[in-house]
Amino acid sequence: MVGVEEVRHLAHLARIGMKEEELRLYTEQINEILTYFNMLDELDIGNDIEPYRMSREYKAMRDDIPVAFSAGNALSNAKNVKGRFIKAPKMG
Amino acid sequence: MVSSSKIALSAYELVEEVKVGSISVEDYIASMIERIGSMDERINAYITLNDHALEEARMIDKMVKGYSNDNGSYATKSLLGVPLAVKDNISTQGIRTTCASRMLEDYVPLYDATVVKRLKGAGAIVIGKTNMDEFGMGSTTEFSAFGATHNPWVYERVAGGSSGGSAAALAACMASIALGSDTGGSVRCPASFCSIYGLKPTYGLLSRYGLISYANSLECIGLMARSVLDLALMLKVAAGSDMQNDHTSIDANSSISLDLESMNHDLKGMRFATIREIVESEGTDEPVRDSMFDALSSVERLGAVVEEVSIPSLRYALASYYTIAMAEASSNLARYDGVRYGYTAQPDGVAWNEFYSKIRSNFGSEVKRRIMLGTYVLSSGYYGRYYMKAQKARALIRDEMLKVLNHYNAIMLPTMPILPPRIGERISDPLRLYMVDICTVIANLAGIPALSIPYSMYNGLPIGVQFMARHLDEPLLLRIAYALESARGDKVRRCMI
Amino acid sequence: MTSIGNSDARVRIGLEIHCQLTALRSKLFCTCPADYRGKEPNTNVCPVCLGMPGTLPLLNRRAIEYAMMLALVLNCKIPSRITFYRKNYFYPDLPKNFQITQYNAYEQASVGVDGVVELDDLDGSSKTIRIRRLQLEEDPGRLAYDGSIDRSNYALVDYNRAGVALVEIVSEPDFNAPNEVRLFLNRLASILEHLGICNPALEGAVRCDANVSIGEQARVEIKNINSFKDVERAVTFEITRQRSLAARGIEIRGETRHWDDARRITVQARAKEEEEDYRYFPEPDIPSIVISSKDVEAIKASMPELPHARVERFVNVYSLSRDTAKILVGEKHLADLFEASIKYYDNARSVANWIVTDLKGYLERYDDGGGDGSSSSSNSVILAKVTPKHIAELAMLVDSGKINRATARQILQRVIATGMLPSAIVQSINVDMLSNKDELASIVDKVIEEERKAFMDALSNEKALNYLLGKVMRYSNGRADPKLVLSMLKERVIGTSKTGQ
Ligand SMILES: [Zn+2]
Cα–Cα distance, B83 to B199 (Å, whole number): 18
Cα–Cα distance, B223 to B311 (Å, whole number): 28
Phi/psi for C301 (5° steps) reads: -65, -25
Q: Coil, helix or strand for C499?
A: helix
Q: How confident is the model at residue C371 (pLDDT cuts 50, 70, 90)?
A: very low
pLDDT computed for residue C366 by the predictor:
67
Q: Which residues of B touch A45 (CB under 8 A)?
A: 389, 392-393, 396
Q: How confident is the model at residue B255 (pLDDT cuts 50, 70, 90)?
A: low
How far is CA C211 from each of CA C11, C17, C130, C214, C234, rounded to the nearest angstrom?
A: 10, 11, 15, 10, 10
pLDDT computed for residue A46 by the predictor:
67
Evaluate the omega torsion of the peptide bond into residue B192 and state whether it is cis, within 30 degrees of 0: no
Higher-scoring residue by pLDDT: B461, C487: B461
Residue to mutate among A24, A32, A33, A41, with most B CBs inside 10 A, is A33
Q: B463 pairs with which residues across the strands? A: B456
pLDDT computed for residue B62 by the predictor:
93
Res C375 pLDDT > 50? no
Rounded to the nearest angstrom, the minimum Cα separation between A7 and chain C is 14
| Residues C200-211, mean pLDDT to the nearest whole number | 94
Cβ-based burial of C378 (10 A; exposed 0-12, middle 13-18, buried ≥19): middle
Cα–Cα distance, B55 to C147 (Å, whole number): 49
Identify whether residues C245 and C149 lie together within a single domain.
yes
Of B230-239, C96-105, C203-212, C418-427, minimum mean pLDDT range: C418-427
Provide the strand spans (E) within C261-405: 265-268, 281-282, 288-290
pLDDT computed for residue B422 by the predictor:
97
- Asked, for residue C268, whether it belongs to a domain, the answer is yes
Per-residue HEC secondary structure of C128-163 comes to: EEEEEEEEEEECCCEEECCCCCCCCCEEEEECCCCC
User: Starting from the edge strand earliest in sequence, which strands make up the sheet with C288-290, in order?
Assistant: A55-57, C288-290, C81-82
Q: Which of C38, C37, C36 is nearest to C46 (CA)?
A: C36
* CA angle in degrees (0–180, nearest 5) for B349-B350-B354: 170
Which residue in chain C is spatially nearest to A67 when comparing CA positions? Answer: C31
Identify whether residues C102 and C248 lie together within a single domain.
yes
What's the mean pLDDT when you consider all of chain C?
A: 88
Cα–Cα distance, B143 to B423 (Å, whole number): 11
Q: How confident is the model at residue C501 (pLDDT cuts 50, 70, 90)?
A: very low
CA of C139 to the centre of ligand 1 (A): 12
- B446 within 8 A of B162, measured Cβ to Cβ: no
Identify whether residues C250 and C322 lie together within a single domain.
no
CA of C42 to the centre of ligand 1 (A): 10
| Residues A18-42, mean pLDDT to the nearest whole number | 95
Cα–Cα distance, B467 to C253 (Å, whole number): 62
CA of C56 to the centre of ligand 1 (A): 11
Identify whether residues C212 and C177 lie together within a single domain.
yes
C279 interfaces chain B, CB cutoff of 8 Å: yes
Out of A63, A75, A85, the one facing C61 most closely (by C-beta) is A63
| Residues C290-294, mean pLDDT to the nearest whole number | 96
pLDDT computed for residue B102 by the predictor:
97
What's the mean pLDDT when you consider all of chain B?
A: 94
All structural domains of chain B: 4-269+413-488 (3.90.1300.10), 318-391 (no CATH)
pLDDT computed for residue A78 by the predictor:
94
Res B436 pLDDT > 90? yes
Cβ-based burial of A31 (10 A; exposed 0-12, middle 13-18, buried ≥19): middle
Of A79-83, B446-450, C469-473, minimum mean pLDDT range: C469-473
pLDDT computed for residue C1 by the predictor:
41
- CB-CB neighbours of C293 under 10 Å: 9
- C233 within 8 A of C266, measured Cβ to Cβ: no
Cα–Cα distance, B286 to B293 (Å, whole number): 11
Of A68-77, C9-18, C27-36, C184-193, minimum mean pLDDT range: A68-77
DSSP-derived secondary structure for C267-280: EE-SSPPP------
Cα–Cα distance, C454 to C326 (Å, whole number): 44
Of B483-487, C44-48, C345-349, minimum mean pLDDT range: B483-487
Identify whether residues C358 and C482 lie together within a single domain.
no
- Asked, for residue C235, whether it belongs to a domain, the answer is yes
| Residues C70-90, mean pLDDT to the nearest whole number | 97
Q: Which residues of A touch C291 (CB under 8 A)?
A: 58
For position C484, which CATH number holds? Answer: 1.10.10
pLDDT by residue (tens digit) across B386-423?
999 999 999 999 999 999 999 999 999 999 999 999 99
| Residues C285-291, mean pLDDT to the nearest whole number | 97
Cα–Cα distance, A22 to A25 (Å, whole number): 5
| Residues B34-59, mean pLDDT to the nearest whole number | 97
Identify whether residues C346 and C475 lie together within a single domain.
no
Q: Which of B6, B87, B120, B129 is catalytic?
A: B87
Cβ-based burial of C202 (10 A; exposed 0-12, middle 13-18, buried ≥19): middle
| Residues B238-264, mean pLDDT to the nearest whole number | 77
- Asked, for residue C377, whether it belongs to a domain, the answer is yes
Identify whether residues C369 and C277 lie together within a single domain.
no
Cα–Cα distance, B208 to B181 (Å, whole number): 10
CA of C199 to the centre of ligand 1 (A): 22
Ramachandran bin of B472, using left for φ above 0, alpha for ψ from -120 to 50, beta for the remaining angles: left
Higher-scoring residue by pLDDT: C380, C140: C140
pLDDT computed for residue B267 by the predictor:
93
Q: Which of B398, C113, C100, B211 is nearest to A54 (CA)?
A: B398
Q: How many alpha carbons fall within 13 Å on the CB side of residue C458?
A: 23
Res C273 pLDDT > 90? no
Identify whether residues C211 and C259 lie together within a single domain.
yes
Cβ-based burial of C157 (10 A; exposed 0-12, middle 13-18, buried ≥19): buried
| Residues C22-38, mean pLDDT to the nearest whole number | 98
Out of A66, A75, A90, the one facing C154 most closely (by C-beta) is A90
Higher-scoring residue by pLDDT: C115, B489: C115
| Domain boundary pick from C413, C429, C445 | C429
Query: Averaging pLDDT over each range in B71-80, B153-162, C362-371, which range is the top one?
Result: B153-162
Q: How confident is the model at residue C13 (pLDDT cuts 50, 70, 90)?
A: very high
pLDDT computed for residue C373 by the predictor:
43
Cα–Cα distance, B360 to C53 (Å, whole number): 16
For chain B, what percent of residues have pLDDT higher than 70?
Answer: 96
pLDDT by residue (tens digit) across C227-251?
888 999 999 999 999 999 999 999 9
pLDDT computed for residue C374 by the predictor:
44
Which residue in chain B is spatially nearest to C275 when comparing CA positions? Answer: B380
- Asked, for residue C6, whether it belongs to a domain, the answer is no
Cα–Cα distance, B487 to B267 (Å, whole number): 11
Residue B162 annotated among the catalytic residues of the structure:
yes
Tell me, yes or no, if the pTM score tops 0.80: yes
Q: How many structural domains is chain C composed of?
A: 3
- Asked, for residue C128, whether it belongs to a domain, the answer is yes
pLDDT by residue (tens digit) across A70-92?
888 888 999 999 999 999 999 87
Containing structural domain, residue C449: 437-499
Q: How confident is the model at residue B262 (pLDDT cuts 50, 70, 90)?
A: low
- Asked, for residue C190, whether it belongs to a domain, the answer is yes
pLDDT by residue (tens digit) across B168-200?
999 999 999 999 999 999 999 999 999 999 999
Q: How confident is the model at residue C5 (pLDDT cuts 50, 70, 90)?
A: low
- C73 within 8 A of C61, measured Cβ to Cβ: no
Res C2 pLDDT > 50? no
B334 interfaces chain C, CB cutoff of 8 Å: yes
Res B311 pLDDT > 80? yes
Identify whether residues C232 and C356 lie together within a single domain.
no
pLDDT computed for residue B253 by the predictor:
62
| Domain boundary pick from C429, C464, C480 | C429
**CATH architecture designation of domain A4-42:** Orthogonal Bundle (1.10)
Higher-scoring residue by pLDDT: C375, C187: C187
Higher-scoring residue by pLDDT: A77, C368: A77
ipTM > 0.95, yes or no: yes
Res C370 pLDDT > 60? no
Residue to mutate among C31, C83, C281, with most B CBs inside 10 A, is C281
Q: Which residues of B touch C140 (CB under 8 A)?
A: none
Out of C50, C56, C153, the one facing B209 most closely (by C-beta) is C56
Q: How confident is the model at residue B31 (pLDDT cuts 50, 70, 90)?
A: very high
* Per-residue DSSP letter, C218: P
Count of positions (residues) in chain B: 497
Residue to mutate among C285, C288, C289, C290, with most B CBs inside 10 A, is C285
Res C279 pLDDT > 60? yes
pLDDT computed for residue B485 by the predictor:
86
